[in-house]
Structure 1
Amino acid sequence: MLLFRLMSALLGYVVILVTGKATERFVNMAASRGIYLWDITRVREGAVLLKVRLGAVKALRHIARRTKCRFHFERRVGFPFLYKRLLRRKALALGVLFFLGALYFLSSFVWFIEVKGTERLTVPEVLGAAAEAGLNRGMPKWRVEPGRVEAALEEKLPLVAWTGVYIKGAKVTIEVAERVVPDAEDNRPSHIIATKAGLVKDVLVLNGHPAVKEGDTVSPGQVLISGEIPPLEEPPKPGEEQKQGEEANKPKKPSRFVHARGIVRARVWYDGYGEAKIAETGRRLTGRSETRVSIKFKGKEIILSGDQNIPYELYETETFVKTIPQWRNLEVPVELVTIKYFEMAEYREELGIEGARSLAGERALAEAAGLVPEEAGIVNRSLEEVQTGHPENIVRVKVTVETIEEIGAESLFKP
């Protein structure tokens, strides 16, 4: 449909008003002769408004004579009519051509330069380095060399790790990625210590000296990766003998102190406890409620709406009190009190031993899961029923959840 409208605008079409006693016959005869009419609208009795392409107007004159109808043009649309108007107004046509030419000429220059990705660098610094490489506002686009500008930015700005220059229309976009410069604190001596107790599973040392190994049991605060690296002991050369005294008097090399980095993953256990009654009794809301609104004035109460008597035998209430704000030193002892009564009913549910055990297990798992960090991976769950030695109406369940998680945290120290 869009293509048809575009072709009609290009070839030209007219909006005509057909009048006469046989407008339906006019439309049918035009359709039978292959003339396409669209947007046909009955304006009034004996009058039809429609659209038809310019090339079919001549054939419609013959059909109008056959059906004794008349038509006249309401509107002319399309390129042929625009072209004729431009021929009559040559100055306007030349102005349009000049405008299009000027627009095309101006779009061949760089008018906007946008910088993206700067954090520590400033936009003027990037634009200054780009200007030295030959990228300026107002220069022709064909003289912009993106590769040369990118190389110049990386050379003149040490903080730039990568840059990209893109041309789109009259706009040039410079994208930069800055280098990650380590903070001063990253070079201060530190240990990796345990944040919780567990059984070490993996130790990956990126910087520092390992203080634990796989299979060790650790407690909170224990050093896992030390920031103190002891000196390496050089083995004696073959055939070289040293006396014990000389070895003792030999000065020892000092230890190196670094900012420890690494990953220590351990097996950690979390406990949860839950209980549930075999037969539960209590009170719960039924869903029905009543509201009473009253005014209290000097100890007297006037009920505005709602029952005076409480409508339920078992209930709980919510009370909302509104007072008139104090005006100057005048305090009006009037209160608007709204009380909502919610009906309650007693209930008894027989869960049975299995049902109570299942419910207690869910509660215990929920408690243990609340202790597990989001990034930890749960590898095992074990449920154990707690026996008290005498019969009760309560089933108690203990849950142990085993996870594998990273337990290390940085801890600065002074050598």
Structure 2
Amino acid sequence: MQYQLITYFQGHVKIEVRGKDIEKLMNELIHSKIKIWDAKRLSGGSIEFHIHLNDFFKLRPLLKKTGCRMRVRKRFGFPFFLNKFLRRKFFISGIALFLMGIYILSTMVWNIEVIGTERLSTEQVLEKAEGLGIHKYQFKFKMDDLDFVARELTRSLPESSWIGVTMKGTKIQIKVVESTIPEEVPLLSPRNLVATSDAIITEIFAEKGNPVVRVNHRVKKGDVLISGVIGDEENQEIVVAKGKVRGLVWYEYNVKVPLKQGVKVYTGSVVDRKYLVFGNRALKIMGFGSLEFEKSENILSKHMLGWREYSLHIGWMDEKILESQIVERELSMEEAQSVGIQQAISDILFSTGIDSKIQAQNIIETKEENGVVHMKILFEVEQDIMTEQPIAETNQLF
């Protein structure tokens, strides 16, 4: 491999030699230690071989001495490529202008990203930054020191406690840390915590107030769980009841599952399209023509050119369009039951909250009618079962 590279950069030629004393010429080449390779006889008595470019210029006296003539058949290597390249002045000028354009574009700001804003709007930050010379298409060398810009932005935006400005290639990132404002604690009226549904208590913790029930107690909807009235009859105090109560609740679900289900599959047919990307615009260069797929899915992959940390906002994008179709699949009874149970569980967790836990499930009834499986399922769910109730509404209970 190393020898091939040396040969390429030195350059070599393939020549044809004619004459009566070709054998004498070959002996002279060996005596002069001139290396040739791929030598072969041609019709008519001539011979063809390859020779290094620096040895090629040593041939003239040997040809004259032996009375032979030569003709260059082909040229190989970097010196010939460079000579041909240098003759194309317009091409070289175009490359120089292209590289100069890329360099100029890399010295400009192409994108400004603002992160960390919640109460502040991105437009507010960008407006203040523009007043300090930070905006799109600005040359980097015209901008002030970024630490100075960060301090001025922090000073001009009182809602922020710290702002950092960094340069990443052609993108400026403005990171904002907003000032912390203490949350206002709402004023709460005295209250009890009551059950939202019939349940068996599995956990109760009274942070404030008097727990009326214990673990394993059965309660009905509306029963008081944690009372806001504490103390005895002589020394009572009404407080805002706080705490946590969980219990087992039962749900009965009627589920219908069709035995024939539509499933998306890929046929294997793919259409490839390629685009040149300039900033936010894309120019299609391959994959023209109308798409004949009835259903399809697109997969995009974008590749942008860059140098070190600099992004040039120039690149290409590949698009694969996969043909798909809906295939009808028939479920077994066991599969249909599994699908129905999962549907019911998803509905339960959505309505009762992510903290809920399915403790048990039991299929009470299953039957098939006209290609549809009808199921009745009983679930035992552990969940939060408390809600607030003003004390005024329940004074008569105490």
Report the TM range for the smaller structure's normalisation: 0.3 to 0.5
What TM-score, normalized to structure 2?
0.39
